[in-house]
Structure 1
Amino acid sequence: MSDKQDPTPVKALHPVYTVTNIQNKIRTLDGTKVSYSSWVRLFKLHAKGYRVLAHIDDDLLARVLEPDSTAYEAWFKIQNIFLNNKGSRAAALEHEFTNLTLRAMSSLEAYCQRLKDLASQLNDVDCPVNEKRLVLQLVRGLPSEFDTAGAYINQTLPPWDTACSMLQLEIQRQRARDSHSSTEIVATVEHDPPANSNILLQ
């Protein structure tokens, strides 16, 4: 019996076959929580990682969605759905962006995320929002208890992430102050006798 190994090379499995559920890799495109531009970036990132990026422009790809439809055509159909009627979409997004307030949201985190999502969607319709404007709008929607922190952010115009962190620290500071004040009030009530206690003792 020969000890020689089979010289036939074993063909490596293409990475794309390791994906069992694409939804675990790419979030569902809904145009609200996941904007078109962020979905495209994520899609292309995974397509490159799994070595199928070239298929996006391959008109010989197997038919998808409709008869005689290529991946290239399907890609641009999605693009048109989310980028058509740019004028009206931009007006609606701009209105929500400039009128959003912290009080209208459930938390600071939700407020920051919604502003970021709206800015991303405005970028999709050719109305770019730069970081400075995003930070200024962040401050604009704050209630009066953030006036001091907001004024400092307006003056220094820190990066977006830094501005959000500063506001989170301000919330923590306000909560600690309120908690300390409540403790002092309780302590005062417990140790100070009622005003008429001397009368009752006589």
Structure 2
Amino acid sequence: MSGATETNSTKAIHPVYTVTNIHTKVRVLGGTKVTYSSWVRLVKLHTKGYKVLSHIDGTAPPAKIDPTYDTWSEIDAIVLQWIYGTISDDLLGQVLDPDFTAYDAWSKLQNVFLNNKGSWAAALEHQINNLTLRAMTPLEAYCQRLKDLSGQLNNVECPVNEKRLVLQPVRGLPSKFDTVAAYINQTSPNWDTACSML
């Protein structure tokens, strides 16, 4: 009798129940500081690590009459909370639905970001083309903003190749950067090297 009690009390809990604060693992998606592709990578990484990737990858849930359905539904509600808890209030308003599963919310967010690719791409291209160091200082923030815009363009299937990304910050630099700008133009280093040179 004590053996059965011991087995029940030592039964392992699902890893999803060990997450107490998703914000320490996944940053809030708002479209500017955290790009959609970065957010997707972080969420997928954590759903895989906590053994709940099947809740967002399109895997069919068990039937409602299946004995595992209640547990699945409870875990799905936790994953849905992760999604809702890591998006901005504006995005939450677009995807909040009382009947959604985690996969429904995941798909809706994907549609929000990818269905308007043309208009997103045009707006992002405008931003990246008009961003200058004079408009945004310090230099680290300027380089990070260019990288973020590049990531967002990649999300809408208009990738910025590394050469263009490296040459973009050189444009419009103050004259004190002339020597390093000329060197970057001539050698086309990778992004990290160009940023550290600046």
Per the normalisation by structure 1, the TM-score is: 0.74
Change (3 A) 1:152 1:141: same
For residues 98 and 196 of structure 2, what CA distance do their matches in structure 1 show?
51
Deviation at 1:121, TM superposition (A): 0.6
Alignment counterpart, residue 105 of structure 2, candidates 74, 78, 94: 74
For residues 148 and 116 of structure 2, what CA distance do their matches in structure 1 show?
19
Task: State the partner residue of 2:46.
Answer: 46
Deviation at 1:83, TM superposition (A): 1.9
User: Is the aligned partner of 1:27 residue 2:27?
Assistant: yes
Task: State the partner residue of 1:172.
Answer: none
Moved over 6 A (4+): none
What letter matches 1:93 in structure 2?
L
Q: In terms of mean alpha carbon deviation, does 125-134 or 80-89 score higher?
A: 80-89
What letter matches 2:40 in structure 1?
V
For residues 14 and 71 of structure 1, what CA distance do their matches in structure 2 show?
17
Alignment counterpart, residue 155 of structure 1, candidates 186, 189, 197: 186
User: Is the aligned partner of 1:145 residue 2:176?
Assistant: yes
Task: State the partner residue of 2:64.
Answer: none
Task: State the partner residue of 2:11.
Answer: 11
Alignment counterpart, residue 117 of structure 2, candidates 67, 72, 86: 86
User: Is the aligned partner of 1:36 residue 2:36?
Assistant: yes
C-alpha offsets along residues 147-178 of structure 1, whole Å, 9 cap, x if unaligned? 110110111111111111111xxxxxxxxxxx
Alignment counterpart, residue 160 of structure 2, candidates 129, 133, 147: 129
Q: In terms of mean alpha carbon deviation, does 49-58 or 35-44 score higher?
A: 49-58
Q: Which stretches in structure 2 are left out of the alignment for 5+ residues?
A: 62-71, 81-95
Alignment coverage as a number of residue pairs? 164
What letter matches 1:88 in structure 2?
S
For residues 89 and 13 of structure 1, what CA distance do their matches in structure 2 show?
43
Structure possessing the higher relative contact order (Cα contacts under 8 Å, 6 or more residues apart): 2
Deviation at 1:15, TM superposition (A): 1.7
C-alpha offsets along residues 131-157 of structure 1, whole Å, 9 cap, x if unaligned? 111001121142222111011011111
Q: Which stretches in structure 1 are left out of the alignment for 5+ residues?
A: 168-202
User: Is the aligned partner of 1:103 residue 2:134?
Assistant: yes
For residues 66 and 17 of structure 1, what CA distance do their matches in structure 2 show?
23
For residues 98 and 50 of structure 1, what CA distance do their matches in structure 2 show?
40
RMSD of equivalent CA atoms:
2.0
Deviation at 1:110, TM superposition (A): 0.4
Alignment counterpart, residue 148 of structure 2, candidates 99, 117, 122: 117
- Are the equivalent residues in 2 in contact too, given 1:90–1:122 (CA < 8 A)? yes
- Are the equivalent residues in 2 in contact too, given 1:59–1:71 (CA < 8 A)? no
For residues 88 and 15 of structure 1, what CA distance do their matches in structure 2 show?
40
Task: State the partner residue of 1:165.
Answer: 196
What letter matches 1:109 in structure 2?
E
Please say which structure displays the higher CA radius of gyration: 1
